[in-house]
Amino acid sequence: MGVDMGEPRGTHVPVLLERCLELLDPALGLPGAVHVDFTLGLGGHAEAVLERYPAVVLIGLDRDTEALAHARHRLIRFGDRAHLVHAVYDELPRVLDELGVPAIHSGLFDLGVSSLQLDEADRGFAYSQDAPLDMRMDQSRGSTAEEIVNSYEPGDLVRVLRQYGEEKFAPRIVQSIMRERAKVRITSTARLAELVKDAIPAAARRTGGNPAKRTFQALRIEVNRELEALEGAVPAALDALAPRGRLVVMSYQSLEDRIVKRALTARSRSTGPVDLPVELPGTGPSLRLLTRGSELPSDAEVAANPRAASVKLRAVERIDEQEQARRFDKQFGAGRERPRLAGPSRGGTP
């Protein structure tokens, strides 16, 4: 890219960079390693991977065309080792098919709103700055937050605020929105934030930060269908992982983390009978958990990067099922018919 784009406003500090690289290191060192950054953003994590692992090929996905432009400028020096694609992360199967990549060896999700989207006031993500009520991560398509706020039926708005924002004052907020939009269209983040603040009881406004936070989160998730995309993206990423491949996911709110936890836990448990000394091939877990529950940031990390304050990190490794089969054959004899037994399954529900 021949034009100097300059730096976006704000300081971009990749969240938990060293911990992510530590967890991904064994996979990034595999022969012919392909790394997918599912949420490329401004390219901070991607740049570190390409710098430290000279043999790795990167596939970077982002739905935000502005973020992609900045990332291309940042990563241009890595040439054909970096393939940057305008796509939502649940479109991974299509992207891999188009690139002719059969499997990936490592992957990273850094969910939520990117630094660029928060720092650029005109994107409409920040309730602390006045801007058009947009909130689209991909400004080339889809409905804006303004369209949702001004066109959804009251019941649908209440559902969005409750489901995606866990907002207990959703009915009061929606009543305030309905009264306002009956008089004039709601078009700005500042006006919406004011309506939310006025709708919430004074006692509740004194704790928990900005009272508009949950409403803005809910609208952002609805606008970008974030949870729907995540429901498909994590299984797709796990399906694409090569044996000994690793995946790290960083989420910033409980709804995201719940989806991630469910997907990872389901594949880390056996489906075989509980009374066998070893796993039957095909019944063992396909993932090994690398973190005990979700990891939280250290005080030092939060001090250096306040946006890491709410992060929850989970990581897994794809188990080599061929190696499992070899261990079975070594213990019970190669070629022996593997028993098919009925019985209770291991684990239980996720």
Residues marked as binding for S-adenosyl-L-methionine? 43-45, 62, 89, 110, 117
d(CA 136, CA 129) in angstroms, rounded, equals 16
Contact of 143 with 223, CB cutoff 8 Å: yes
| Alpha-carbon distance values, 223 to 33, 217, 300 (Å) | 35, 10, 34
Q: Report phi then psi at 59, rounded to 5.
A: -115, 120
Tokens linked to 171: 């009915």
Cβ atoms 138, 66 nearer than 8 A: no
Rounded Cα–Cα distance for residues 22 and 15 (Å): 13
Q: Cite the annotated binding site by residue number.
A: 43-45, 62, 89, 110, 117
Contact 111, 45 (CB under 8 A): no
- Tokens of residue 91, six digits: 């479109």
Helix (H) or strand (E) holding 34: strand 34-37
Q: Are 110 and 250 in contact (CB under 8 A)?
A: yes
